[in-house]
């Protein structure tokens, strides 16, 4: 148990999830195109990408619901095509669909789920009570699910994925359609679940969710993993900070001179505001102030904006995450 964090190449403690060159086609559409990633034990790992990027296909393969056309996948150390039953016993899944039965109470939904994982009557009842406490639904345990709010149902879905104490929990768009309060509340439960030693693989197209919740994030685009790292490191490596300066009057001629500076990558002039993208804010700011002063237009105002995962996504895929999400089209060109 003490070696969970120190995975080594000799395979002493295999990752919780390994996807190795997975490919999958739906007719002529290539959903996965050599998808490769590994989720370490105990971490919250995010698959970030727009609709149609291949997130759901990857999850369905890892859940043994879909056979890959090519490549290998192991979950909790077991090959998904050779040991599907073993995988199913060790993983929990919270799909993005509404799978709670509205005609059963919260408690009945949980004991039903417990039966699907072969818990006996007493064990199922105890586990249901424990999970109702975990997601703060014990006061609403005996209300019909159809009478619960959207956020409460979502928490019930989450609890239903945990009845058998899975090694790995898959969360598919866990906060889709929830208001911000419910989302933040759900995040605290997800962190609590992580503290019990469960590995969590979640898919999301919410950048703030990936940023707030995930230890590591994989950016998936057109069925391929473009980058994997901590959100902070991704932002450092692929995102540029932006330095803004407001000048006493527009000075478009400054742009050319600033462009020669080694740390300045891109310059925009919008009226009396000049913006430059940089990988090192201090030298870039110094250069900006110096050049402005030399031109007799000392800046009135200076501010710096850090890169967001949105910028990382744009850098890596050439498209913005959210434009795609809103158009809801899987086959964006």
Q: Where does this chain bind another protein (CB under 8 A)? A: 63-67, 85, 88-89, 91, 93, 95, 97-99, 101, 103-104, 108, 111-121, 144, 160
Least distance CB 211 / another protein (angstroms): 28
Cα of first residue to Cα of last residue in the chain, in angstroms, is 47
Nearer to another protein, 34 or 86 (CB): 86
Least distance CB 65 / another protein (angstroms): 5
- Rounded-to-integer distance, Cα 303 and Cα 284, Å: 12
- Residue 25 β-bridge partners: 30
Nearer to another protein, 77 or 250 (CB): 77
- Rounded-to-integer distance, Cα 49 and Cα 30, Å: 16
Tell me the backbone φ, ψ of residue 145, rounded to 5 degrees: -60, -30
Nearer to another protein, 16 or 63 (CB): 63
Least distance CB 158 / another protein (angstroms): 13
Least distance CB 23 / another protein (angstroms): 18
Nearer to another protein, 50 or 95 (CB): 95
Nearer to another protein, 36 or 99 (CB): 99
- Rounded-to-integer distance, Cα 265 and Cα 282, Å: 14
The answer to whether 266 touches 276, Cβ cutoff 8 Å, is: yes
- Rounded-to-integer distance, Cα 315 and Cα 240, Å: 9
Q: What are the Cα distances from residue 226, in Å, to 32, 33, 164, 236? A: 13, 11, 34, 15
In 3D space, the residue among 254, 253, 180 whose CA is nearest the CA of residue 212 turns out to be 180
Least distance CB 217 / another protein (angstroms): 24
């Amino acid at each position: 148990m003490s070696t969970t964090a120190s995975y080594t190449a000799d395979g002493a403690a295999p990752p919780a999830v390994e996807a190795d060159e997975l490919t999958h086609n739906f007719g002529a559409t290539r959903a996965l195109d050599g998808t490769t990633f590994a989720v370490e034990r105990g971490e919250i790992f995010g698959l970030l990408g727009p609709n149609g990027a291949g997130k759901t296909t990857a999850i369905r393969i890892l859940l043994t619901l879909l056979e890959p056309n090519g490549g290998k996948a192991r979950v909790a150390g077991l090959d998904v095509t050779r040991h599907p039953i073993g995988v199913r016993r060790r993983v929990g899944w919270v799909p993005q669909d509404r799978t709670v039965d509205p005609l059963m109470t919260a408690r009945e939904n949980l004991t039903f789920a417990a039966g699907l994982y072969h818990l006996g009557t007493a064990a199922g009842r105890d586990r249901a009570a424990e999970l109702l406490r975990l997601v703060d639904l014990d006061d609403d345990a005996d209300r019909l699910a159809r009478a619960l709010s959207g956020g409460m149902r979502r928490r019930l879905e989450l609890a239903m994925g945990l009845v058998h104490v899975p090694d790995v929990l898959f969360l598919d768009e866990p906060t889709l359609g929830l208001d911000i309060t419910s989302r933040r509340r759900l995040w605290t439960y997800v962190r609590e679940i992580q503290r019990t030693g469960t590995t969590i693989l979640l898919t999301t197209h919410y950048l703030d969710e990936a940023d707030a919740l995930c230890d590591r994030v994989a950016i998936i685009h057109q069925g391929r993993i473009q980058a994997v790292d901590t959100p902070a490191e991704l932002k450092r490596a692929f995102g540029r900070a932006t330095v803004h300066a407001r000048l006493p009057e527009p000075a478009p001629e400054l742009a050319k001179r600033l462009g020669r500076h080694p740390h300045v990558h891109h310059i925009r002039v919008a009226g009396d505001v000049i913006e430059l993208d940089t990988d090192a804010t201090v030298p870039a700011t110094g250069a900006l102030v110096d050049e402005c002063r030399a031109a007799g237009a000392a800046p009135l105002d200076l501010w710096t904006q850090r890169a967001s995962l949105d910028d990382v996504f744009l850098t890596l895929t050439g498209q913005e995450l959210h434009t795609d999400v809103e158009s809801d089209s899987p086959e964006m060109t």
